[in-house]
Amino acid sequence: MTKSFLTIWCNNDFTPAQEAERELLTKGVGAHRLLLFEPDDNGKDGAALDALRSADIAFGSPEARAASDCERLRWIQLNTAGYTSYDHADIKEKLNARGTRLTNSSAVYDEPCAQHLLAMMLSLARGLPLALDAQRGGRAWRMHDLRPGLRLLNGQTVLLLGYGAIARRLVELLGPLGMDVVAVRRRVQGDERVRVLHTDAVDELLPTADHVVNVLPANDQTVNFLNGERLARFKKGAILYNIGRGVTLDQTALLNEMQTGRIAAAYLDVTTPEPLPPGSPLWTTPNCYITPHSAGGFSLEKRRHVEHFLENLRRFESGAELLDRIY
């Protein structure tokens, strides 16, 4: 790869408290030209679009169709794990035709999201939310009614919907617990660490799972993937975890299955819409636990964004394979 100076367009979000991260990026790009914009300036129009047209590299969240029309762009790194707006055949065709590479930031988010999932799985198995409710409510000593319902995760079955970076890291964290893990994905590679089947097998697998972990991205194939028919196939007493995208789950059907008792609990880090309106019945449904799209968050998130980009920049300069490449 050429060592000539490059123009880097960036609208990654740096708050006033993240000046150190901004400085890390500024110094890390060295002699390359860095054009910084606010997160809302996504290159769709105005000065941000003019700058995007002149850039060799984009880092942050450039608007997908605008970026696909920028003939000079050679590499786009998204500051998210999701890439829904780029997951369209016409955009992929445009970028591939001119050799523009697309990478995301899965390496930033696999660890926090996997730990978040593990924390919820363990807390539900050990009845921690119920104990906290008792502490914050009537302060009842619920030893005799809580203890018989507590469970161990050992030997239980986990079904992973999707097998990307988050799912792979979760598999590693679940290893010491001796759980039976199976996954479905669109393209089975054959070298996965657990049993992986094509997505078409999901209907026969759902009745066998104690835990269904949804890490699916949002695209045309995954909207309402967990619809009423599939939720009705859940094993009675199973628990659903969704940290993929809210649109992949039919929330009305989920409420129905929770009311019948088929689905014992649900943990949702993503919803439709976001923020979830205060009037949504999900907030008050027993055994439905909600966090505000915080699974990927951690104190060093912005620093890891920059470090991940700079590592890929070094690889781009040398012609090495980029990390987290989508296409």
Q: Could you read off the pLDDT of 156-168 as tens digits, one per residue?
A: 999 999 999 999 9
**To the nearest whole percent, how much of the chain has pLDDT over 70?**
99
Query: For residue 85, is it within any domain?
Result: yes
Mean pLDDT of all residues in 213-219: 95
Q: What's the confidence (pLDDT) of residue 3?
A: 54
Of 126, 127, 117, 288, which Cα lies nearest the Cα of 214? 117
Structure-block tokens of residue 230: 């599939």
Identity of the residue numbered 90: D
The reply to whether 274 belongs to the active site is yes
Query: For residue 323, is it within any domain?
Result: no
- Kindly tell me if the per-residue pLDDT of 66 is higher than 70: yes
Verify that 45 and 176 share a domain, yes or no: no
Verify that 261 and 159 share a domain, yes or no: yes
Catalytic residue (one of 293, 303, 315, 325): 293
Verify that 36 and 93 share a domain, yes or no: yes
Q: What's the confidence (pLDDT) of residue 2?
A: 46
**What confidence tier does 1 reach under pLDDT thresholds 50, 70, 90?**
very low
Query: For residue 324, is it within any domain?
Result: no
Domain hosting 207: range is 109-290
Verify that 222 and 314 share a domain, yes or no: no
Q: What's the confidence (pLDDT) of residue 313?
A: 98
Identity of the residue numbered 126: R
For strand 263-268 and strand 57-60, is the pairing parallel, antiparallel, or unpaired? unpaired
Q: How many domains does the chain have?
A: 2
Are the CB atoms for 244 and 161 separated by under 8 Å? Answer: yes
Verify that 208 and 248 share a domain, yes or no: yes
The reply to whether 245 belongs to the active site is yes
Query: For residue 2, is it within any domain?
Result: no
Query: For residue 33, is it within any domain?
Result: yes
Element (H, E) at 241: strand 238-242
Structure-block tokens of residue 80: 């998210």
Strands in 57-60's sheet, in edge-to-edge order, are 33-36, 7-10, 57-60, 75-78, 101-103
Mean pLDDT of all residues in 165-184: 97
Are the CB atoms for 48 and 11 separated by under 8 Å? Answer: yes
**Core vs surface per residue 217-249: b (16+ CB within 10 A) or e:** bbbeebeebbeeebbebbbeebbbbbbbbbbbb
The reply to whether 293 belongs to the active site is yes
Are the CB atoms for 179 and 152 separated by under 8 Å? Answer: no
Verify that 176 and 204 share a domain, yes or no: yes
Mean pLDDT of all residues in 242-255: 97
Catalytic residue (one of 72, 172, 274, 314): 274
**Core vs surface per residue 148-186: b (16+ CB within 10 A) or e:** eeeeebeebbbbbbbbbbbbbbbbeebeebebbbbbbbe
- Give the separation between CA 315 and CA 75, rounded to whole angstroms: 12
Verify that 192 and 214 share a domain, yes or no: yes
Q: How confident is the model over 122-148, as pLDDT tens digits?
A: 999 999 999 999 999 999 999 999 999
**Alpha-helix residue ranges (DSSP H) falling in the chain:** 19-28, 46-53, 64-68, 89-97, 106-125, 128-136, 143-146, 165-174, 202-205, 228-231, 251-260, 301-318
Q: What's the confidence (pLDDT) of residue 151?
A: 96
Report residue 71: phi and psi, to 5°. -65, -25
Structure-block tokens of residue 77: 């790194």
Mean pLDDT of all residues in 94-105: 97
Verify that 78 and 201 share a domain, yes or no: no
**Core vs surface per residue 276-285: b (16+ CB within 10 A) or e:** beeebebeeb
Catalytic residue (one of 101, 116, 168, 245): 245
Verify that 149 and 241 share a domain, yes or no: yes
Query: For residue 326, is it within any domain?
Result: no
Verify that 240 and 177 share a domain, yes or no: yes
Verify that 122 and 242 share a domain, yes or no: yes
Q: What's the confidence (pLDDT) of residue 157?
A: 98
Q: What's the confidence (pLDDT) of residue 5?
A: 93
Structure-block tokens of residue 3: 């060592």
Verify that 38 and 166 share a domain, yes or no: no
CATH number at residue 277: 3.40.50.720
**To the nearest whole percent, how much of the chain has pLDDT over 90?**
97
Query: For residue 133, is it within any domain?
Result: yes
Q: What's the confidence (pLDDT) of residue 4?
A: 79
Query: For residue 1, is it within any domain?
Result: no
At 316 the three-state DSSP class reads helix
